[in-house]
A and B are shown apart, each in its own frame.
Chain A
């Protein structure tokens, strides 16, 4: 075996895995008008792609991420990564979203903090981060910005657009915004308008951040900022992503230390406390507090019935075929909200289906391993 063969083997992906990937930046200098009326002289979107674009440029599958997600939905950046992209179990050669067939694209949303333009980006006019001077972002703005990216890549049409939670909201907006461009929509664990409960949870998270004395009205150095508030927001949010049953199964009443030690203080007593603290601590290393404010606001603001008069009116021009997926244990974006989306599409005589998976893992179910989900997605994309 000579040297050339050896290096080739090193970069080949394992069968069934996307393997090593790298992100790219799409930079546009064309002015962008937000739904709020504010204007930016261009923006950046960080994105990744897997698979290859076909000759007709119509084998494209777009993945939309949720609140705390990003462009890195499959593969690994380096061999020392702790874990692969957030939807790696769904996306890859021969997987449900088959990168042998499709050119899969995922970008960090506008307003995000993982490379795309957002409140932590430098404002060219001031040379300092935008902070909360960054324009108000809506789901519709996120979608319109993604369209520019797809245009730059020469995408002729979207074979499918998939996403869960906030990603599902983007999926619906895609089908509404660009009816002829989108062939299939696959929104999961989502809604056409978030419930009061959902808004309430987001507000608690925002308050934790904004009441943190280090927030300084959104002006803080990269190394500083309201880390305590952001960590607390994340701890609470994580609870809303799982379920009573799954938390009980994973942690129950297990204690971190022997029970005779330090039983009557406020240090970590239980495994679940330790886990949540860890969730908060690791989140603050990769997420920006201001982005958390902007993105949760975008989620709260999203309301298709209010924006178009009714859900039926919102979907009236949709041409895509849609599969909506709900999860029984999701109490944050419950099945009923996903059913309502489907029923509105069906009342409009659109091609649409609703399937419901019985899980007990809560809202995060759509991210987890499930042969049933893979078969369903595979069948829809066939």
Chain B
């Protein structure tokens, strides 16, 4: 599944801004380690990435990033509470079996959790569903339904409802428009393409 690399500068920068210098960071679904490498270079963090894919882990090793190939829940359960300063879930939640369990465990093992996700409520997705009744194909959704892994997309409204239900505190949030660059202030559930939340218990 291709991820739109060209759009992903501002969201990574925001994540980096929220990370404290020299903190302990865990990146769930770390991919090739690009974000962790940025955090090491700009914030001198001690970082670990977790991913299920061997090729991605191999790329992290080549980058000099600590990377663990395996299941993120089993990984987190191997650490004491509050061991990490921050867990980052950047575009990972829509691909996990049990998002609530992942967030709960992340909030146990870390003091703060940063979640980044594509806003499924974005007006173009709604229009595509309304007009064509088909999976959207664009710079964000790059694959046909028959070539895609199962995914559990969430909208901003879904996510904020989840936080209220589970009594999770969103310390700050950053909402980006369809270009994933400019900030979105007006009707985010409709007009934000990407959302970032910083959570604590």
B61 touches A346 (CB 8 A): no
Asked if B57 is an interface residue, CB under 8 A from chain A, the answer is yes
- How long is the Cα–Cα vector from A349 to B23 in the complex, in angstroms? 11
Closest to B67 in A: A353
A53-61, A114-122, A286-294, A371-379 - interface stretch: A371-379
Q: B residues within 8 A CB of A343?
A: 68, 75, 78
Does B181 have its Cβ within 8 Å of any Cβ on chain A? Answer: no
Which chain A residues lie closer than 8 Å to B58 at the CB level?
355, 372, 375-376, 379
Contacting A at CB under 8 A, from B81-125, are 83
A376→B68 contact, CB < 8 A:
no
Quick one: CB contact mask for A175-216 with B, threshold 8 Å, 1 for yes? 000000000000000000000000000000000000000000
Query: In the complex, A323→B78 CA distance in Å?
Result: 18
Contact pattern, A 353-382, Cβ under 8 Å of B = 1, otherwise 0: 111111000000000000010011001101
Chain B: interface residue count, which band? Answer: 20 to 34
Q: Which residues of chain B from 47 to 81 have any CB-CB distance to chain A below 8 Å in the complex?
A: 48, 54, 57-62, 64-70, 75, 78-80
Chain A positions within 8 Å of B46 at CB level: 349
CB–CB A347/B54 < 8 A = no
For residue B24, CB closer than 8 A to chain A, the reply is yes
B61 contact from A356, A357, A358, A376, Cβ within 8 A = A376
- Of the four ranges (under 10, 10 to 19, 20 to 34, 35 or more), the interface on chain A belongs to 20 to 34
Is the CB–CB distance between B66 and A352 below 8 Å?
yes
Q: Which 4 A-B pairs give the minimum distances between C-beta atoms?
A: A379-B62, A353-B67, A343-B78, A355-B57
Question: A347-B78, A372-B54 are contacts. A353–B62 as well, Cβ < 8 Å?
Answer: no
A260 to B26, CA, bound (A): 64
Asked whether, in the complex, the Cβ of A323 is within 8 Å of the Cβ of B61, the reply is yes
Structural contact, A357 and B54, CB atoms closer than 8 A:
yes
Write out the residue numbers on chain A whose beta carbons fall within 8 Å of the beta carbon of B70: 339, 354, 356
A353 to B79, CA, bound (A): 15
Cβ contacts under 8 Å, B66 to chain A: 346, 351-353
In the assembled complex, which residues on chain A have CB atoms less than 8 Å from the CB atom of B48? 346
Chief secondary structure at chain B's binding surface:
mixed
Q: How far is the CA of A323 from the CA of B68 in the complex (A)?
A: 10
For A323, list chain B residues within 8 Å (CB).
61
The answer for the CA separation of A358 and B69 in the assembled complex, in Å, is: 12
A372 to B83, CA, bound (A): 33
CA distance A222 to B55 in the complex (A): 50
> Contact flags (1/0) for A109-127 with B, using CB distance below 8 Å?
0000000000000000000
- Contact A349 B24, CB 8 Å, known A342-B68, A356-B70: yes
Whole-angstrom distance between the alpha carbons of A376 and B62 in the complex?
8
Question: Closest residue of chain A to B78, judged by CB?
Answer: A343
CB atoms of B54 and A355 under 8 A apart: yes
Contacts of A352 in B (CB 8 A): 66
Nearest neighbor of B50 in chain A, beta-carbon distance: A354
The chain A residue sitting closest to B59, CB to CB, is: A379
CA distance A79 to B60 in the complex (A): 41
Known: A339-B70, A346-B66, A358-B54. A353 touches B78 (CB 8 A): no
Which residues does chain A contribute within 8 Å of B78, judged by CB atoms?
A: 343, 347
Q: Which residues of B contact A339 (CB under 8 A)?
A: 70
Closest to A352 in B: B66
Within 8 Å by CB of B69, from A347, A355, A382, lies A355
Say whether, besides A372-B54, A379-B62, A354 and B68 are in contact (CB < 8 Å). yes
- Distance between B165 CB and nearest chain A CB, rounded to angstroms: 32
